[in-house]
Structure 1
Amino acid sequence: MIGSAASPAAPELAPRAPVLALIALGLVAGFLSGLFGIGGGIIVVPALLMLGYDQRRAAGTSVAAILPPSIVGTVGYALTGHIDWIAGIALAVGVVIGAQVGSYLLARLSRPALFWSFLLFLIFSAASLWFSVPSRDDSIAITVWTVLALIGAGVVTGILSGVLGVGGGVIVVPALMFFFGASDLIAKGTSLFMMIPGSLSATLGNMRRKNVDLRGGLFVGATACLASPLGLLTATAITPLWSNIAFSVLIAAITVQLIVRNLRRR
């Protein structure tokens, strides 16, 4: 009776991933954060799954790990003048609302549904990059309707962030370029700024529902801060076209790896 009563609690135990693996993951995620204006969740979630995390805890831990590199990346892009603060605040308002909804859904959706949703999200993100290749001189025209649209985009981003464990950059960066006319650098800098309140909101929700490993998130997030500035320097050195190509290759590699891993498990 004692063994059967204790068994349901087993999935709630946080895996003790090797510190070196978490540090290596943080370096990669931090570089990608600075390079693409993303939080790094598209690499952190699959990596945590390979380290033994279940889908829910991987998503929650990834959102927590996103916070430190987002702050460092925001500072870097702000110093180079590549953040639209009004657009970022509007997105952040929507993200904070959506993140709470997302963390609520994370605790209730089935693991297969979360897994396949994440894969579809990756494929859509790669495709969306090719809707438009921006110019470095583009900027966002701020109007009342633009601000309302940005808040709505933030709500959608926050929901997906909470459910899938991504910072939302893979949604916001293409959206800012295609729908709002931002340059690739402004889109990346604004995206990182938006992630700060979104990560805080989603992490608080996940902590209440015990869907986060703060130890893993701390190691990954702190290490990511070291590599984020290098990613920023690389982003300014390459053209928007090559940035899109590199991002697409990364997402394709992650998608194929996850599908193969899932098929082997079955």
Structure 2
Amino acid sequence: MLFVSMLIMGMIIGFIGIGGAGITIALLTVGFLVPIHTALAVALSAMVFTTMSGAYSHFREGNVIPKTGAVLGISGMVGAFLGANVSNIIPSDILGKMSGSIMVLSAVLLYIKVYQPEWLNKHFPPRDGLLEGHKLYIYGSIAGCVNGLISGAFGIGAAAFIQLTLMIIFGVPVLYAIGTCMMVILPISIAGGMGYFLNGQLDLMIFIQTLVGQSVGAYLGAKLTRLAPRPILKFFMVAMSASGGLVMLLLY
């Protein structure tokens, strides 16, 4: 039953083009009563494989700023590993509500990015030109560590946080922000997943069913994306991201 559910979810994720960690955590905890720490471990570890192909594809297409991505990715690994260990000592009931709150905040940021780009550019104008020199390493280390901490502690990819950070602070154009974000998420998910694994929180059977189900489903769902009207895709991108957080806040 878990595999079938993840297969269906994978099709939805592939269809609308989101990471799906939040809704995965909600389904595992509320739908299948998986302990929250295990659900976070599974979601973050599965993200390693689901982002790997995407990051490689963006890199081959030249949609990545390697230097910026490397700085945020390496520092993000430190934050993610630390976040996984911090998460391990937070009580389950508190962690569930905190994760839900972060998911809702992520959905709000995604809504602003998708539906209110003019407001975003007016109040948080992107930096004019790429951030370089020693500021790149200082700001990158801080931003990467913070985003990694959020991802590791709450089991999400933090894509909305990372993309906005790249555009506003580091001056990365929108197209490159998407590819560079995937480059940053990959090492973060590896370090976070390793942190949960070393704490004994990763259930391999649940992980395998989740990974295989979502991977196959996402491959099938992605083939249908071009058939859907853009407004429908935008709506479900935000709705799916928000639903995971709301389920955690209301039902967990």
Q: How does 1:141-220 map to 2 (within 5 A)?
A: 141-144=130-133, 145-220=135-210
Native 8 Å contact 1:73 1:232 kept in 2: no
Distance (Å, rounded) in 1 between the aligned partners of 2:21 and 2:154: 8
The answer for the alignment partner of 1:22 in structure 2 is 6
Aligned residue for 2:117, secondary structure, equals: coil
Distance (Å, rounded) in 2 between the aligned partners of 1:228 and 1:174: 27
Superimposed CA distance per residue, residues 224-247 of structure 1 (whole angstroms, 9 cap, x where no aligned partner)? 444269659959x988x9876543
Distance (Å, rounded) in 2 between the aligned partners of 1:177 and 1:238: 27
The code of the aligned residue for 1:90 comes to V
The code of the aligned residue for 2:99 comes to F
The answer for the alignment partner of 2:27 in structure 1 is 47
1:75 counterpart = 2:56: yes
- Larger relative CO (CA 8 A, sep 6+): 1 or 2? 2
The answer for the alignment partner of 1:64 in structure 2 is 45
Native 8 Å contact 2:2 2:209 kept in 1: no
1:116 counterpart = 2:100: no
| Displacement of 1:62 | 0.7
Native 8 Å contact 1:60 1:165 kept in 2: yes
Count matched residues: 238
Name which of structure 1's ranges 94-103 and 250-259 shifts more when overlaid on structure 2: 250-259
* Structure 1 unmatched ranges of 5 or more: 1-16
The answer for the alignment partner of 1:101 in structure 2 is 82
Distance (Å, rounded) in 1 between the aligned partners of 2:78 and 2:221: 32
1:92 counterpart = 2:73: yes
Report the identity percentage: 19
With over 3 angstroms needed to count, the CA separation of the structure-2 counterparts of 1:44 and 1:19, relative to structure 1, is same
Name which of structure 1's ranges 51-60 and 18-27 shifts more when overlaid on structure 2: 18-27
Name which of structure 1's ranges 40-49 and 18-27 shifts more when overlaid on structure 2: 18-27
With over 3 angstroms needed to count, the CA separation of the structure-2 counterparts of 1:58 and 1:187, relative to structure 1, is same
Name which of structure 1's ranges 221-230 and 42-51 shifts more when overlaid on structure 2: 221-230
The code of the aligned residue for 1:46 comes to A
Distance (Å, rounded) in 2 between the aligned partners of 1:215 and 1:250: 25
Native 8 Å contact 1:76 1:229 kept in 2: no
Native 8 Å contact 2:41 2:201 kept in 1: yes
Superimposed CA distance per residue, residues 75-119 of structure 1 (whole angstroms, 9 cap, x where no aligned partner)? 222233222211211111111101111111111001122112112
The code of the aligned residue for 1:157 comes to N
The code of the aligned residue for 2:8 comes to A
| Displacement of 1:74 | 0.9
Native 8 Å contact 1:31 1:230 kept in 2: yes
Distance (Å, rounded) in 2 between the aligned partners of 1:193 and 1:222: 22
1:259 counterpart = 2:240: no
Superimposed CA distance per residue, residues 192-220 of structure 1 (whole angstroms, 9 cap, x where no aligned partner)? 11122222212222111111122222332
The code of the aligned residue for 2:249 comes to I
With over 3 angstroms needed to count, the CA separation of the structure-2 counterparts of 1:150 and 1:242, relative to structure 1, is farther
Native 8 Å contact 2:13 2:221 kept in 1: no
* Structure 2 unmatched ranges of 5 or more: 122-126
